[in-house]
Structure 1
Amino acid sequence: MNSEVVKTIDKLTRKITIRIFVSFIATLLVVLVIMLKPIELRTYNLPASLAPAQELFRYQFKDSIYIPSLYEKRVSRLYDYLILKVKYGGLLQEFEQPKQQEIPSNPPKDSPGMLAFPDTEQQRESLLYVALPAYIAGSNEAGRPVEYGYDFEIAIVPSKKNEDLLSSTIVAIDGNPPTLEKMEEILASKALHQIKARSLDGKIVIRDTTLYGVTVNAHYNINELWKFSDLMKFDLANIEGDSGGAATAYEVMLKKKEIPNEHGEFSITGAINVEGNISSVGGVKAKTYLAIKNSVPVMFVPNGVNYSEAIEMKSLMKSNIDIVPIQKLGDIEAYWK
């Protein structure tokens, strides 16, 4: 073969090889940039197994009631997202949540006050704010009611006039002990009331003022806290927020009635208040996925949007898990009957 022709072929081969190599490097760089690019995504990292509800109690016995827990994870790199996608397959998008809008901490100056149960991240995840209402609701459902009340702490004031009342606990309103109904009434009114409050250092402040526009946190206060402490183990099995409330209340009911669970394995998720009303929680699709993967035959979820989410995941995973909607604690027992 002519040497000139061979040289031409060699040059062409080198050019093609270089182009392929450059294209490969460029593609690799693009992929790396995309993988390292920050993204705004909140997803879930699921534990390998369900948390048994009885871990909440000092005196344990095997009863197969589970709380489907999960760990919320903020994914800041596409690389992390892809790892989770490989781990959970095409279902990962079902777990994603949009970034929540931040609620302004200070209300407008000319607006009614607000009565709230503790609403900071730390307080929501505190054992007492999950287990105390569950303990009260479970005791009531068992026919052994608990006497409870509220302590009212002033959390936000809209003006400097009441600034020294911040973080103080209201002792009396117009000479009478505060009640939930009275607090709701005066927070919505511009009328003056005599407020007696106790500061953190024990000082008593008495003032004729309006609490219009003030935010007051209501804390549960029960007379038999010693019983609660003896019954409960201070461990929420890595459950964040109030998702374990309904399961805790159901366990309390069984403990108070001194009966074991006779229904085999099942899981419960949902928040609960002292009246036994069960409300929605986050991450139900991920929790349903976890329950199905752990072969739990029955799952109780709050009625409404959570029930729809659980049914959707059941359909996607082609599972025969029984999804049961609940609104009150008694709905769980009603299902078995």
Structure 2
Amino acid sequence: MRILVTGHSGQVARCLAQVANDQPNLDIVFLHRPDFDLLETSSVEDQICRYSPDIVVSAAAYTAVDLAEDEEDLAFAINAVGAGAVAAAAKKCDAPIIHISTDYVFDGTKDGAYSETDVPSPKTAYGRTKLAGERFVAGANPEHIILRTAWLFSVFGQNFVKTMLRIAKEKNIVGVVSDQFGNPTSAYEIAKAIIAVAKLIVEPEFDSFGVYHFAGPETMSWADFAKVVFEQSAAQGGPICSVTEIDTSQFPSRAVRPKNAAMDCSKFEAVFGRDVAHLDIDVRLSVSEIIKNSHRRKNPAMALSR
């Protein structure tokens, strides 16, 4: 199976590359800048169809949530128009598309977890552009799986786990928001889910295309998530600090974060199954690799000897 992925430096794309290493029957091709640019929609079809993919994974996106408040046109061009062009190209070469979306399509005011039947109502520029992207993708390619996810973390890129470990090296106490709730989600788990989905949707009898939620199994606040990170770091001799719980009002940001980003993933589980590790396990693995990488940077000779 040949899977073509837009983007290569994001958390999901880099975890997909890792997962593919363990599955020799998968051929994964990554398209990325400067050769592949979602702003150059006229060349998207040729760039994608030349590889004759069986599946296209739309992972590239504009993800600067706060900056998008000032650059909504640019975010729209990438997250909506660009994503739609990728979906149309996939349709042209007879390939289903798996498109990664976000909890930011909701306003965060619901009591309880969001399901796929809840009406989106984004409060941020980023959320509006991602919701438009969902609609562009669905309109361009009926064979689509849109995966909404939230609170991504991994050993790659910039994310909450890496931020907490960095702060712990500099401070003894960190204030973390305790009135926003969501599902911390390992990008590695999403990568595994994408592969599982890809294997099913290429079957001729598959007819359950549409929108799905995929996120970690546990709902908690950012402050609780920070405590999990430091517990796992302490167990491995890594950096730790005390967590002070604060309100959103004490941590203002340009874009309004959803108060509730909890996601109901029962639809995904019913159609595709859902073998997701416990949060502690995923955090432990990420923390372990982050600590190891930090040691290698401090001791380049050790890194070269391995």
TM-score bucket of the superposed structures, by smaller chain: under 0.3
TM-score, normalised by the number of residues in structure 1? 0.21
Q: Which has the higher helix share?
A: 2
TM-score, normalised by the number of residues in structure 2? 0.23
Which of these two proteins has the greater Rg computed from alpha carbons? Answer: 1
Q: Which has the higher strand share?
A: 1
